[in-house]
Amino acid sequence: MEKIFARLSQVSASLVFVVLVSTLVTLYISAKPAIEEFGAKFLIDARWGVDVPIEPPSSDHKPAQQASQSSVSNAHLDNGTNAGDEDDGINVGDDDDGINVGGDGVVSNAPHKEVFGGAVAIVGTVFSTIIALLFAVPLAMGIAIFLSEIAAPAISKPVGIAIELLAAIPSIIYGMWGLFYFGPFIASIFGGHSVSLLVAGLVLGVMVIPFMAALSRDAINTTPDVLKEAAYAVGATKFEVIKDVVFPYAKAGIIGSIIISLGRALGETMAVAFVIGGVFEFAKSVTDPTNSIPVVLANNFSESSGLSLASLFYLSLILFVVSFIVIFTAKHYFLRRGK
Amino acid sequence: MKDIANIMEIQDFSFTYPKAENPSLKNINLPIKENHITALIGPSGCGKSTLLRAMNRIHDLYPGCHYEGAIKLKNQDGSIGNILDIKKENDFIALRQRVGMIFQKPTPFPMTIYENIAYGLRIAGIKNKNDLEEIIVKSLQDAALWNEVKDRLHQDARGLSGGQQQRLCITRVVALKPDLMLFDEPTSALDPISTLAIEEMILGLKEKYSIAIVTHNMQQASRISDYTAFMYLGDLVEFNDTDVMFTNPKEQQTNNYITGKFG
Protein backbone atom coordinates (compact mmCIF):
# COMPACT_ATOMS: atom_id res chain seq x y z
CA MET A 1 0.00 0.00 0.00
CA GLU A 2 2.75 2.37 1.02
CA LYS A 3 4.65 1.47 -2.11
CA ILE A 4 1.69 1.90 -4.41
CA PHE A 5 1.03 5.27 -2.93
CA ALA A 6 4.63 6.38 -3.30
CA ARG A 7 4.74 5.09 -6.86
CA LEU A 8 1.49 6.79 -7.80
CA SER A 9 2.62 10.16 -6.57
CA GLN A 10 5.92 9.62 -8.32
CA VAL A 11 4.14 8.99 -11.59
CA SER A 12 1.97 12.08 -11.19
CA ALA A 13 5.03 14.17 -10.53
CA SER A 14 6.98 12.82 -13.47
CA LEU A 15 4.01 13.57 -15.71
CA VAL A 16 4.91 17.21 -15.35
CA PHE A 17 8.26 16.65 -16.96
CA VAL A 18 6.86 14.41 -19.65
CA VAL A 19 4.35 17.06 -20.69
CA LEU A 20 6.92 19.83 -20.53
CA VAL A 21 9.55 18.03 -22.55
CA SER A 22 7.17 16.52 -25.07
CA THR A 23 5.58 19.90 -25.73
CA LEU A 24 8.96 21.43 -26.28
CA VAL A 25 10.05 18.60 -28.58
CA THR A 26 6.90 18.60 -30.72
CA LEU A 27 7.04 22.34 -31.03
CA TYR A 28 10.64 22.13 -32.12
CA ILE A 29 10.03 19.39 -34.65
CA SER A 30 7.08 21.22 -36.17
CA ALA A 31 9.00 24.45 -36.27
CA LYS A 32 12.12 22.90 -37.72
CA PRO A 33 11.56 23.84 -41.37
CA ALA A 34 11.08 27.47 -40.41
CA ILE A 35 14.05 27.42 -38.06
CA GLU A 36 16.27 26.03 -40.79
CA GLU A 37 14.91 28.50 -43.29
CA PHE A 38 15.05 31.69 -41.28
CA GLY A 39 17.29 30.91 -38.33
CA ALA A 40 17.71 33.61 -35.73
CA LYS A 41 16.83 36.26 -38.29
CA PHE A 42 13.21 35.30 -37.63
CA LEU A 43 13.43 37.15 -34.37
CA ILE A 44 14.24 40.49 -35.96
CA ASP A 45 12.43 40.18 -39.26
CA ALA A 46 9.23 42.20 -39.30
CA ARG A 47 7.85 40.70 -42.53
CA TRP A 48 5.20 38.04 -42.43
CA GLY A 49 4.21 36.17 -45.55
CA VAL A 50 5.90 38.67 -47.81
CA ASP A 51 7.12 37.48 -51.16
CA VAL A 52 10.63 38.45 -52.09
CA PRO A 53 12.67 37.51 -55.09
CA ILE A 54 15.69 35.49 -54.20
CA GLU A 55 18.78 37.50 -54.93
CA PRO A 56 21.61 35.92 -56.79
CA PRO A 57 23.74 34.09 -54.30
CA SER A 58 26.01 36.75 -53.04
CA SER A 59 25.15 37.37 -49.43
CA ASP A 60 25.70 35.32 -46.31
CA HIS A 61 26.24 31.67 -46.86
CA LYS A 62 26.24 29.97 -50.18
CA PRO A 63 25.68 26.30 -49.58
CA ALA A 64 22.78 26.97 -47.30
CA GLN A 65 21.30 29.18 -49.90
CA GLN A 66 21.26 26.38 -52.41
CA ALA A 67 19.65 23.97 -50.07
CA SER A 68 17.04 26.38 -48.97
CA GLN A 69 16.17 27.25 -52.51
CA SER A 70 14.75 23.84 -53.19
CA SER A 71 12.83 23.75 -49.98
CA VAL A 72 11.48 27.16 -50.75
CA SER A 73 10.07 26.18 -54.06
CA ASN A 74 8.37 23.29 -52.37
CA ALA A 75 6.83 25.50 -49.83
CA HIS A 76 5.86 27.80 -52.56
CA LEU A 77 4.03 25.11 -54.36
CA ASP A 78 2.11 24.30 -51.25
CA ASN A 79 1.15 27.85 -50.92
CA GLY A 80 -0.02 28.04 -54.44
CA THR A 81 -2.58 25.31 -54.02
CA ASN A 82 -4.52 26.98 -51.31
CA ALA A 83 -3.73 30.47 -52.38
CA GLY A 84 -7.36 31.35 -52.77
CA ASP A 85 -8.16 31.34 -49.09
CA GLU A 86 -4.85 32.71 -47.97
CA ASP A 87 -5.93 36.09 -46.90
CA ASP A 88 -4.95 38.02 -43.90
CA GLY A 89 -4.57 41.59 -42.91
CA ILE A 90 -2.50 44.17 -44.59
CA ASN A 91 0.32 42.45 -46.37
CA VAL A 92 -2.03 40.25 -48.28
CA GLY A 93 -2.99 42.96 -50.71
CA ASP A 94 0.21 42.58 -52.65
CA ASP A 95 0.54 38.90 -51.95
CA ASP A 96 2.82 36.55 -53.80
CA ASP A 97 0.03 35.04 -55.81
CA GLY A 98 -0.89 38.34 -57.31
CA ILE A 99 2.61 38.92 -58.47
CA ASN A 100 3.08 35.41 -59.65
CA VAL A 101 0.03 35.40 -61.80
CA GLY A 102 0.10 38.94 -62.99
CA GLY A 103 3.72 39.33 -63.80
CA ASP A 104 3.91 35.98 -65.50
CA GLY A 105 6.00 36.95 -68.47
CA VAL A 106 8.90 38.79 -67.01
CA VAL A 107 9.23 38.33 -63.29
CA SER A 108 7.96 34.87 -62.69
CA ASN A 109 11.07 33.11 -63.81
CA ALA A 110 13.03 34.85 -61.15
CA PRO A 111 12.82 32.60 -58.08
CA HIS A 112 10.67 33.81 -55.27
CA LYS A 113 10.41 32.93 -51.67
CA GLU A 114 8.01 33.82 -48.92
CA VAL A 115 9.56 35.37 -45.88
CA PHE A 116 8.25 35.07 -42.37
CA GLY A 117 9.49 36.98 -39.39
CA GLY A 118 8.23 37.16 -35.84
CA ALA A 119 9.54 40.54 -34.76
CA VAL A 120 6.23 42.39 -34.88
CA ALA A 121 4.42 39.75 -32.90
CA ILE A 122 7.24 39.37 -30.38
CA VAL A 123 7.52 43.10 -29.81
CA GLY A 124 3.74 43.40 -29.60
CA THR A 125 3.55 40.64 -27.02
CA VAL A 126 6.30 42.09 -24.89
CA PHE A 127 4.95 45.62 -24.97
CA SER A 128 1.32 44.73 -24.42
CA THR A 129 2.44 42.70 -21.41
CA ILE A 130 4.56 45.54 -20.09
CA ILE A 131 1.67 47.99 -20.44
CA ALA A 132 -0.62 45.51 -18.74
CA LEU A 133 1.72 45.11 -15.78
CA LEU A 134 2.43 48.83 -15.46
CA PHE A 135 -1.28 49.36 -15.27
CA ALA A 136 -2.22 46.34 -13.18
CA VAL A 137 0.49 46.11 -10.52
CA PRO A 138 -0.19 49.41 -8.71
CA LEU A 139 -3.94 48.95 -8.89
CA ALA A 140 -3.84 45.36 -7.76
CA MET A 141 -1.54 46.22 -4.86
CA GLY A 142 -3.90 49.00 -3.84
CA ILE A 143 -6.84 46.62 -3.91
CA ALA A 144 -4.96 43.94 -1.99
CA ILE A 145 -3.84 46.32 0.73
CA PHE A 146 -7.25 47.87 1.02
CA LEU A 147 -8.91 44.48 1.35
CA SER A 148 -6.48 43.00 3.83
CA GLU A 149 -5.31 45.95 5.91
CA ILE A 150 -7.62 48.91 5.63
CA ALA A 151 -11.21 47.96 4.90
CA ALA A 152 -13.55 46.78 7.63
CA PRO A 153 -14.74 43.19 7.16
CA ALA A 154 -18.19 44.46 6.18
CA ILE A 155 -16.62 46.06 3.11
CA SER A 156 -13.74 43.75 2.33
CA LYS A 157 -15.94 40.65 2.12
CA PRO A 158 -18.25 41.82 -0.70
CA VAL A 159 -15.38 43.50 -2.55
CA GLY A 160 -13.35 40.32 -2.24
CA ILE A 161 -16.19 38.31 -3.72
CA ALA A 162 -16.57 40.82 -6.53
CA ILE A 163 -12.86 40.44 -7.31
CA GLU A 164 -13.21 36.69 -7.49
CA LEU A 165 -16.18 37.06 -9.82
CA LEU A 166 -14.14 39.34 -12.06
CA ALA A 167 -11.47 36.67 -12.23
CA ALA A 168 -14.08 34.21 -13.41
CA ILE A 169 -15.14 36.21 -16.48
CA PRO A 170 -14.05 34.41 -19.66
CA SER A 171 -11.47 36.33 -21.64
CA ILE A 172 -13.58 36.58 -24.77
CA ILE A 173 -16.02 38.73 -22.85
CA TYR A 174 -13.23 41.09 -21.94
CA GLY A 175 -12.31 41.10 -25.61
CA MET A 176 -15.78 42.10 -26.74
CA TRP A 177 -16.08 44.66 -24.02
CA GLY A 178 -12.68 46.03 -25.05
CA LEU A 179 -13.55 46.13 -28.72
CA PHE A 180 -16.95 47.78 -28.44
CA TYR A 181 -16.70 50.00 -25.39
CA PHE A 182 -13.31 50.26 -23.78
CA GLY A 183 -11.31 50.67 -27.01
CA PRO A 184 -13.38 53.56 -28.39
CA PHE A 185 -13.34 55.10 -24.93
CA ILE A 186 -9.56 54.96 -24.75
CA ALA A 187 -9.29 56.26 -28.30
CA SER A 188 -11.50 59.20 -27.40
CA ILE A 189 -9.09 60.10 -24.60
CA PHE A 190 -5.68 59.36 -26.05
CA GLY A 191 -6.57 59.57 -29.75
CA GLY A 192 -5.42 57.01 -32.26
CA HIS A 193 -7.22 53.80 -33.10
CA SER A 194 -9.80 52.05 -31.03
CA VAL A 195 -7.84 48.84 -31.52
CA SER A 196 -4.26 49.37 -30.51
CA LEU A 197 -1.34 48.25 -28.46
CA LEU A 198 -2.50 50.50 -25.63
CA VAL A 199 -6.02 49.12 -25.59
CA ALA A 200 -4.67 45.58 -25.70
CA GLY A 201 -2.32 46.29 -22.80
CA LEU A 202 -5.04 47.91 -20.72
CA VAL A 203 -7.55 45.15 -21.38
CA LEU A 204 -4.89 42.64 -20.42
CA GLY A 205 -4.25 44.67 -17.31
CA VAL A 206 -7.92 44.69 -16.37
CA MET A 207 -7.98 40.96 -16.91
CA VAL A 208 -5.05 40.15 -14.64
CA ILE A 209 -5.93 42.60 -11.87
CA PRO A 210 -8.40 40.25 -10.16
CA PHE A 211 -5.83 37.44 -10.07
CA MET A 212 -3.08 39.64 -8.87
CA ALA A 213 -5.24 41.34 -6.26
CA ALA A 214 -6.77 38.15 -4.89
CA LEU A 215 -3.45 36.31 -4.66
CA SER A 216 -1.63 39.29 -3.18
CA ARG A 217 -4.38 39.76 -0.64
CA ASP A 218 -4.00 36.14 0.41
CA ALA A 219 -0.25 36.60 0.70
CA ILE A 220 -0.65 39.77 2.75
CA ASN A 221 -3.16 38.06 5.01
CA THR A 222 -0.50 35.55 6.00
CA THR A 223 1.43 38.26 7.85
CA PRO A 224 1.04 37.35 11.53
CA ASP A 225 -0.89 39.91 13.55
CA VAL A 226 1.77 39.80 16.22
CA LEU A 227 4.42 40.93 13.74
CA LYS A 228 2.35 43.95 12.78
CA GLU A 229 1.69 44.64 16.47
CA ALA A 230 5.42 44.52 17.12
CA ALA A 231 5.95 47.17 14.47
CA TYR A 232 3.18 49.32 15.89
CA ALA A 233 4.76 48.78 19.27
CA VAL A 234 7.95 50.54 18.18
CA GLY A 235 5.84 53.44 16.98
CA ALA A 236 5.29 52.71 13.31
CA THR A 237 2.26 54.17 11.55
CA LYS A 238 -0.11 52.09 9.47
CA PHE A 239 1.63 53.12 6.26
CA GLU A 240 5.03 52.27 7.72
CA VAL A 241 3.81 48.91 8.93
CA ILE A 242 2.46 48.07 5.49
CA LYS A 243 5.54 49.33 3.69
CA ASP A 244 8.22 47.94 5.99
CA VAL A 245 6.72 44.83 7.51
CA VAL A 246 3.70 43.54 5.64
CA PHE A 247 5.11 43.99 2.16
CA PRO A 248 8.53 42.48 2.80
CA TYR A 249 6.92 39.64 4.73
CA ALA A 250 4.47 38.86 1.95
CA LYS A 251 6.99 39.60 -0.78
CA ALA A 252 7.28 36.06 -2.09
CA GLY A 253 3.54 35.66 -2.41
CA ILE A 254 3.06 39.06 -4.00
CA ILE A 255 5.76 38.47 -6.57
CA GLY A 256 4.31 35.04 -7.19
CA SER A 257 0.99 36.66 -7.98
CA ILE A 258 2.65 39.07 -10.39
CA ILE A 259 4.51 36.25 -12.11
CA ILE A 260 1.35 34.22 -12.54
CA SER A 261 -0.37 37.27 -13.99
CA LEU A 262 2.62 37.89 -16.22
CA GLY A 263 2.41 34.38 -17.59
CA ARG A 264 -1.27 34.84 -18.21
CA ALA A 265 -0.77 38.17 -19.95
CA LEU A 266 1.96 36.75 -22.20
CA GLY A 267 -0.21 33.93 -23.41
CA GLU A 268 -3.61 35.60 -23.46
CA THR A 269 -5.19 35.14 -26.87
CA MET A 270 -8.87 35.82 -27.22
CA ALA A 271 -9.18 39.17 -25.50
CA VAL A 272 -6.07 40.51 -27.22
CA ALA A 273 -7.17 39.21 -30.61
CA PHE A 274 -10.19 41.47 -30.37
CA VAL A 275 -8.40 44.64 -29.50
CA ILE A 276 -4.84 44.59 -30.80
CA GLY A 277 -5.68 44.97 -34.48
CA GLY A 278 -3.81 41.97 -35.84
CA VAL A 279 -1.67 43.79 -38.39
CA PHE A 280 1.94 42.94 -39.10
CA GLU A 281 3.29 46.38 -38.49
CA PHE A 282 5.21 47.80 -35.63
CA ALA A 283 3.17 50.23 -33.60
CA LYS A 284 4.75 53.65 -34.11
CA SER A 285 2.94 54.88 -31.04
CA VAL A 286 1.07 52.97 -28.37
CA THR A 287 -2.24 53.93 -29.94
CA ASP A 288 -1.42 52.10 -33.19
CA PRO A 289 -2.61 48.59 -33.92
CA THR A 290 -0.02 45.83 -34.04
CA ASN A 291 0.08 42.11 -33.30
CA SER A 292 1.02 39.61 -30.63
CA ILE A 293 2.24 36.03 -30.78
CA PRO A 294 -0.88 34.24 -29.53
CA VAL A 295 -3.06 36.36 -31.79
CA VAL A 296 -0.96 35.55 -34.85
CA LEU A 297 -1.22 31.88 -33.98
CA ALA A 298 -4.97 31.94 -33.48
CA ASN A 299 -5.69 34.00 -36.58
CA ASN A 300 -3.49 32.08 -39.00
CA PHE A 301 -3.50 28.42 -38.09
CA SER A 302 -6.49 27.48 -40.18
CA GLU A 303 -4.99 28.99 -43.31
CA SER A 304 -1.44 27.84 -42.98
CA SER A 305 0.52 24.95 -44.28
CA GLY A 306 4.07 24.12 -45.10
CA LEU A 307 6.51 26.86 -44.34
CA SER A 308 3.93 29.27 -42.97
CA LEU A 309 2.67 26.62 -40.59
CA ALA A 310 6.21 25.86 -39.51
CA SER A 311 6.69 29.57 -38.96
CA LEU A 312 3.70 29.60 -36.68
CA PHE A 313 5.22 26.73 -34.73
CA TYR A 314 8.47 28.63 -34.60
CA LEU A 315 6.56 31.56 -33.14
CA SER A 316 4.83 29.38 -30.57
CA LEU A 317 8.18 27.88 -29.64
CA ILE A 318 9.46 31.42 -29.07
CA LEU A 319 6.44 32.21 -26.90
CA PHE A 320 7.06 29.05 -24.95
CA VAL A 321 10.70 29.86 -24.39
CA VAL A 322 10.03 33.53 -23.63
CA SER A 323 7.34 32.68 -21.07
CA PHE A 324 9.62 30.11 -19.54
CA ILE A 325 12.59 32.43 -19.33
CA VAL A 326 10.56 35.36 -18.00
CA ILE A 327 8.93 33.33 -15.28
CA PHE A 328 12.09 31.47 -14.42
CA THR A 329 14.24 34.56 -14.11
CA ALA A 330 11.54 36.53 -12.33
CA LYS A 331 11.27 33.76 -9.81
CA HIS A 332 14.98 33.48 -9.27
CA TYR A 333 15.72 37.14 -9.28
CA PHE A 334 12.95 38.25 -6.97
CA LEU A 335 12.50 35.33 -4.67
CA ARG A 336 16.03 35.21 -3.43
CA ARG A 337 15.90 35.83 0.26
CA GLY A 338 17.84 38.65 1.80
CA LYS A 339 21.05 39.87 0.27
CA MET B 1 5.35 47.05 51.09
CA LYS B 2 8.08 49.60 50.63
CA ASP B 3 7.12 52.96 49.29
CA ILE B 4 8.35 53.09 45.72
CA ALA B 5 7.20 55.44 43.03
CA ASN B 6 4.78 54.09 40.47
CA ILE B 7 5.57 54.47 36.80
CA MET B 8 2.03 53.44 35.99
CA GLU B 9 -1.14 53.28 37.98
CA ILE B 10 -4.16 51.37 36.81
CA GLN B 11 -7.34 52.63 38.48
CA ASP B 12 -10.79 51.06 38.41
CA PHE B 13 -9.99 49.78 34.99
CA SER B 14 -12.51 47.75 33.01
CA PHE B 15 -12.08 46.52 29.49
CA THR B 16 -14.55 45.06 27.01
CA TYR B 17 -13.53 43.47 23.72
CA PRO B 18 -15.34 44.46 20.52
CA LYS B 19 -18.77 42.87 20.28
CA ALA B 20 -18.37 41.18 23.66
CA GLU B 21 -21.26 41.39 26.12
CA ASN B 22 -19.31 41.27 29.32
CA PRO B 23 -16.10 43.01 30.26
CA SER B 24 -12.95 40.89 30.17
CA LEU B 25 -11.41 42.95 32.95
CA LYS B 26 -13.36 44.27 35.89
CA ASN B 27 -12.33 47.16 38.15
CA ILE B 28 -8.64 46.48 38.15
CA ASN B 29 -6.45 48.50 40.48
CA LEU B 30 -2.75 47.86 40.02
CA PRO B 31 0.43 49.87 40.38
CA ILE B 32 3.51 49.20 38.25
CA LYS B 33 6.56 50.12 40.28
CA GLU B 34 9.44 52.09 38.86
CA ASN B 35 12.64 50.12 38.20
CA HIS B 36 11.11 46.92 39.42
CA ILE B 37 9.62 43.88 37.78
CA THR B 38 5.95 43.22 38.21
CA ALA B 39 4.67 39.80 37.16
CA LEU B 40 1.11 39.09 36.16
CA ILE B 41 0.14 35.48 36.74
CA GLY B 42 -3.05 33.50 36.52
CA PRO B 43 -4.67 30.69 34.56
CA SER B 44 -5.37 30.98 30.82
CA GLY B 45 -8.16 33.38 30.03
CA CYS B 46 -7.85 35.30 33.28
CA GLY B 47 -7.17 38.54 31.43
CA LYS B 48 -3.49 39.06 32.23
CA SER B 49 -2.47 39.51 28.60
CA THR B 50 -5.51 41.69 28.00
CA LEU B 51 -4.42 43.94 30.84
CA LEU B 52 -0.86 44.10 29.58
CA ARG B 53 -2.00 44.96 26.08
CA ALA B 54 -4.07 47.81 27.49
CA MET B 55 -0.95 49.40 28.96
CA ASN B 56 0.27 50.59 25.57
CA ARG B 57 -3.19 50.47 24.01
CA ILE B 58 -2.17 47.97 21.36
CA HIS B 59 -5.80 46.86 21.59
CA ASP B 60 -6.73 49.94 19.64
CA LEU B 61 -5.36 48.45 16.43
CA TYR B 62 -8.66 46.61 16.34
CA PRO B 63 -11.59 49.00 16.47
CA GLY B 64 -14.41 48.67 18.95
CA CYS B 65 -12.61 48.15 22.27
CA HIS B 66 -14.21 49.75 25.26
CA TYR B 67 -12.29 51.11 28.25
CA GLU B 68 -13.42 52.41 31.60
CA GLY B 69 -11.42 53.84 34.48
CA ALA B 70 -7.93 55.23 34.09
CA ILE B 71 -4.39 54.11 33.32
CA LYS B 72 -2.06 56.80 34.53
CA LEU B 73 1.46 56.97 33.18
CA LYS B 74 4.13 59.13 34.73
CA ASN B 75 5.79 61.39 32.20
CA GLN B 76 9.49 62.11 32.21
CA ASP B 77 8.89 65.57 33.65
CA GLY B 78 7.02 64.01 36.57
CA SER B 79 3.55 64.98 35.41
CA ILE B 80 0.95 62.27 35.06
CA GLY B 81 -1.25 61.57 32.07
CA ASN B 82 -4.12 59.17 31.53
CA ILE B 83 -3.27 57.05 28.49
CA LEU B 84 -6.94 56.24 27.99
CA ASP B 85 -7.43 59.85 26.89
CA ILE B 86 -5.20 59.40 23.87
CA LYS B 87 -7.04 59.88 20.59
CA LYS B 88 -4.54 61.11 17.99
CA GLU B 89 -2.30 58.79 16.04
CA ASN B 90 0.81 60.81 16.87
CA ASP B 91 0.11 60.41 20.56
CA PHE B 92 -0.32 56.67 20.10
CA ILE B 93 3.06 56.52 18.43
CA ALA B 94 4.62 58.47 21.27
CA LEU B 95 2.94 56.22 23.82
CA ARG B 96 4.14 53.03 22.17
CA GLN B 97 7.67 54.30 21.97
CA ARG B 98 7.55 55.05 25.68
CA VAL B 99 5.83 51.79 26.59
CA GLY B 100 7.58 49.07 24.61
CA MET B 101 6.27 45.57 24.13
CA ILE B 102 7.77 42.13 23.61
CA PHE B 103 5.52 39.33 22.42
CA GLN B 104 5.06 35.65 22.98
CA LYS B 105 6.70 34.62 19.75
CA PRO B 106 9.83 36.35 18.51
CA THR B 107 8.81 38.96 15.98
CA PRO B 108 11.87 39.91 13.94
CA PHE B 109 10.92 42.28 11.16
CA PRO B 110 11.62 41.00 7.66
CA MET B 111 14.89 42.93 7.39
CA THR B 112 18.49 42.70 8.56
CA ILE B 113 19.53 42.49 12.19
CA TYR B 114 20.91 46.01 12.00
CA GLU B 115 17.74 47.36 10.41
CA ASN B 116 15.59 45.65 13.00
CA ILE B 117 17.06 47.88 15.67
CA ALA B 118 17.49 50.92 13.45
CA TYR B 119 13.84 50.80 12.46
CA GLY B 120 12.33 52.03 15.70
CA LEU B 121 15.20 54.48 16.19
CA ARG B 122 14.56 56.09 12.84
CA ILE B 123 10.87 56.40 13.65
CA ALA B 124 11.91 58.03 16.91
CA GLY B 125 13.78 60.60 14.85
CA ILE B 126 17.38 59.37 15.08
CA LYS B 127 18.49 59.50 11.47
CA ASN B 128 22.21 60.26 11.72
CA LYS B 129 24.14 57.23 10.59
CA ASN B 130 26.89 57.47 13.19
CA ASP B 131 24.42 57.94 16.03
CA LEU B 132 22.43 54.96 14.83
CA GLU B 133 25.51 52.80 14.57
CA GLU B 134 26.62 53.77 18.05
CA ILE B 135 23.26 53.06 19.67
CA ILE B 136 22.84 49.77 17.85
CA VAL B 137 26.27 48.46 18.81
CA LYS B 138 25.81 49.62 22.40
CA SER B 139 22.37 48.02 22.68
CA LEU B 140 23.60 44.74 21.28
CA GLN B 141 26.52 44.74 23.68
CA ASP B 142 24.21 45.48 26.60
CA ALA B 143 22.02 42.61 25.49
CA ALA B 144 25.03 40.27 25.34
CA LEU B 145 24.06 39.60 21.77
CA TRP B 146 26.94 41.44 20.16
CA ASN B 147 29.36 38.53 19.98
CA GLU B 148 26.77 36.31 18.40
CA VAL B 149 25.67 38.71 15.70
CA LYS B 150 28.56 41.10 15.04
CA ASP B 151 29.61 39.25 11.90
CA ARG B 152 26.11 39.05 10.47
CA LEU B 153 24.59 42.43 11.28
CA HIS B 154 23.52 42.84 7.70
CA GLN B 155 21.92 39.46 7.28
CA ASP B 156 18.23 38.73 7.57
CA ALA B 157 17.20 38.64 11.22
CA ARG B 158 14.99 35.66 10.56
CA GLY B 159 18.10 33.54 10.20
CA LEU B 160 18.80 33.78 13.94
CA SER B 161 17.74 31.09 16.38
CA GLY B 162 14.47 31.55 18.25
CA GLY B 163 16.19 32.65 21.44
CA GLN B 164 18.45 35.07 19.60
CA GLN B 165 15.47 36.48 17.74
CA GLN B 166 13.67 37.13 21.00
CA ARG B 167 16.72 38.80 22.49
CA LEU B 168 16.97 40.92 19.36
CA CYS B 169 13.34 41.93 19.82
CA ILE B 170 14.08 42.95 23.41
CA THR B 171 17.17 44.85 22.26
CA ARG B 172 15.07 46.59 19.66
CA VAL B 173 12.77 47.89 22.36
CA VAL B 174 15.55 48.73 24.81
CA ALA B 175 17.30 50.81 22.16
CA LEU B 176 14.32 53.17 22.27
CA LYS B 177 14.89 53.70 26.01
CA PRO B 178 11.27 53.20 26.98
CA ASP B 179 9.85 54.20 30.36
CA LEU B 180 8.09 50.90 30.73
CA MET B 181 8.60 47.55 29.05
CA LEU B 182 5.80 45.03 28.68
CA PHE B 183 6.64 41.35 28.23
CA ASP B 184 3.83 39.10 27.09
CA GLU B 185 5.00 35.57 27.97
CA PRO B 186 8.35 36.22 26.29
CA THR B 187 9.74 32.73 26.86
CA SER B 188 6.76 30.50 26.24
CA ALA B 189 8.00 29.61 22.75
CA LEU B 190 11.61 29.00 23.80
CA ASP B 191 13.74 26.18 25.13
CA PRO B 192 15.02 26.25 28.75
CA ILE B 193 18.47 27.59 27.89
CA SER B 194 17.13 30.44 25.79
CA THR B 195 14.61 31.09 28.55
CA LEU B 196 17.41 31.44 31.04
CA ALA B 197 19.22 33.91 28.81
CA ILE B 198 16.07 35.99 28.46
CA GLU B 199 15.43 35.94 32.19
CA GLU B 200 18.96 37.14 32.88
CA MET B 201 18.47 39.86 30.35
CA ILE B 202 15.23 41.01 31.95
CA LEU B 203 16.83 41.00 35.41
CA GLY B 204 19.65 43.14 34.08
CA LEU B 205 17.20 45.59 32.58
CA LYS B 206 15.42 46.49 35.78
CA GLU B 207 18.25 48.74 36.91
CA LYS B 208 17.22 51.19 34.26
CA TYR B 209 13.74 50.21 33.25
CA SER B 210 10.36 49.45 34.73
CA ILE B 211 9.01 46.11 33.64
CA ALA B 212 5.69 44.30 33.60
CA ILE B 213 5.71 40.67 32.56
CA VAL B 214 2.92 38.23 31.92
CA THR B 215 3.88 34.64 32.50
CA HIS B 216 2.33 31.22 32.70
CA ASN B 217 5.30 29.98 34.51
CA MET B 218 5.11 30.54 38.25
CA GLN B 219 8.75 29.62 38.82
CA GLN B 220 9.65 32.31 36.36
CA ALA B 221 7.54 34.83 38.23
CA SER B 222 9.18 33.89 41.51
CA ARG B 223 12.67 33.94 39.98
CA ILE B 224 12.62 37.33 38.39
CA SER B 225 9.82 39.50 39.71
CA ASP B 226 9.70 41.86 42.68
CA TYR B 227 5.92 42.12 42.74
CA THR B 228 3.30 39.71 41.59
CA ALA B 229 -0.31 40.20 40.67
CA PHE B 230 -2.60 37.20 40.58
CA MET B 231 -5.57 37.46 38.27
CA TYR B 232 -8.55 35.21 37.90
CA LEU B 233 -11.53 35.50 35.55
CA GLY B 234 -10.99 39.17 34.84
CA ASP B 235 -10.46 40.16 38.45
CA LEU B 236 -7.27 41.11 40.18
CA VAL B 237 -7.31 38.77 43.13
CA GLU B 238 -4.14 39.77 44.88
CA PHE B 239 -1.16 42.05 44.44
CA ASN B 240 1.80 41.61 46.70
CA ASP B 241 5.55 41.35 47.09
CA THR B 242 6.64 38.30 45.17
CA ASP B 243 8.26 36.81 48.30
CA VAL B 244 5.07 37.16 50.27
CA MET B 245 2.92 36.02 47.41
CA PHE B 246 4.68 32.71 47.01
CA THR B 247 5.10 31.94 50.69
CA ASN B 248 2.20 33.46 52.49
CA PRO B 249 -0.54 34.76 50.20
CA LYS B 250 -3.46 36.60 51.68
CA GLU B 251 -6.12 35.05 49.53
CA GLN B 252 -7.14 31.41 49.53
CA GLN B 253 -7.56 31.50 45.73
CA THR B 254 -3.98 32.64 45.25
CA ASN B 255 -2.79 29.88 47.51
CA ASN B 256 -4.75 27.30 45.56
CA TYR B 257 -3.27 28.50 42.30
CA ILE B 258 0.36 28.71 43.33
CA THR B 259 0.21 25.35 45.06
CA GLY B 260 -1.14 23.84 41.86
CA LYS B 261 -4.66 23.01 42.99
CA PHE B 262 -6.03 24.50 39.77
CA GLY B 263 -4.89 26.42 36.75
Q: What interface predicted TM-score (ipTM) does this complex get?
A: 0.88
Give the strand order in the sheet containing B25-33: B25-33, B6-16, B66-74, B80-82
Residue B263's pLDDT band (cuts 50, 70, 90) = low
Between residues 40 and 99 of chain B, which touch chain A (CB distance below 8 Å)?
56, 58, 61, 63, 89, 93-94, 96-97
Tell me the whole-structure pTM to 2 decimals: 0.77
Average pLDDT taken over every residue of chain B? 91
* C-alpha distance from A229 to closest chain B C-alpha (Å): 7
Alpha carbons A185 and A288: distance in angstroms, whole number: 15
Angle at CA of residue A286, ends A280 and A292, nearest 5°: 35
* B176/A235 CB distance under 8 A: yes
Q: In this structure, are strands B66-74 and A48-53 parallel, antiparallel, or unpaired?
A: unpaired
Q: Does residue A65 carry a pLDDT above 60?
A: no
Phi-psi region of A321 (alpha: psi -120 to 50; beta: other; left: phi over 0): alpha
A154 contacts on B by Cβ (under 8 Å): none
B112 contacts on A by Cβ (under 8 Å): 338-339
pLDDT score at A335:
66
Q: Return the sign of the alpha-carbon dihedral for residues A38, A44, A48, A51.
A: negative
* B100/A234 CB distance under 8 A: yes
Contact A260, A211 (CB under 8 A): yes
* A233/B93 CB distance under 8 A: no
Q: In this predicted structure, which of A13-22, A112-121, B110-119 has the lowest mean pLDDT?
A: A112-121
* C-alpha distance from B54 to closest chain A C-alpha (Å): 12
A231 contacts on B by Cβ (under 8 Å): 109, 119
Contact B88, A221 (CB under 8 A): no
Alpha carbons A132 and A189: distance in angstroms, whole number: 18
With CA atoms as reference, the chain A residue closest to B181 would be A233
Full set of structural domains in chain A with CATH: 120-334 (1.10.3720.10)
pLDDT score at B129:
92
> Per DSSP, what are the bridge partners of residue B74?
B80
The pLDDT tens digits of the residues spanning B108-130 come to 999 999 999 999 999 988 999 99
Q: What percent of chain B is modeled with pLDDT above 90?
A: 70
How big is the A-B interface in CB pairs under 8 Å?
A: 73
The pLDDT tens digits of the residues spanning B61-110 come to 888 899 999 999 998 888 888 999 988 888 899 899 899 999 999 999 99
pLDDT score at A159:
92
Which residue out of B56, B61, B92, B170 would a mutagenesis test of the A interface target, given it has the greatest number of A Cβ atoms within 10 Å? B61
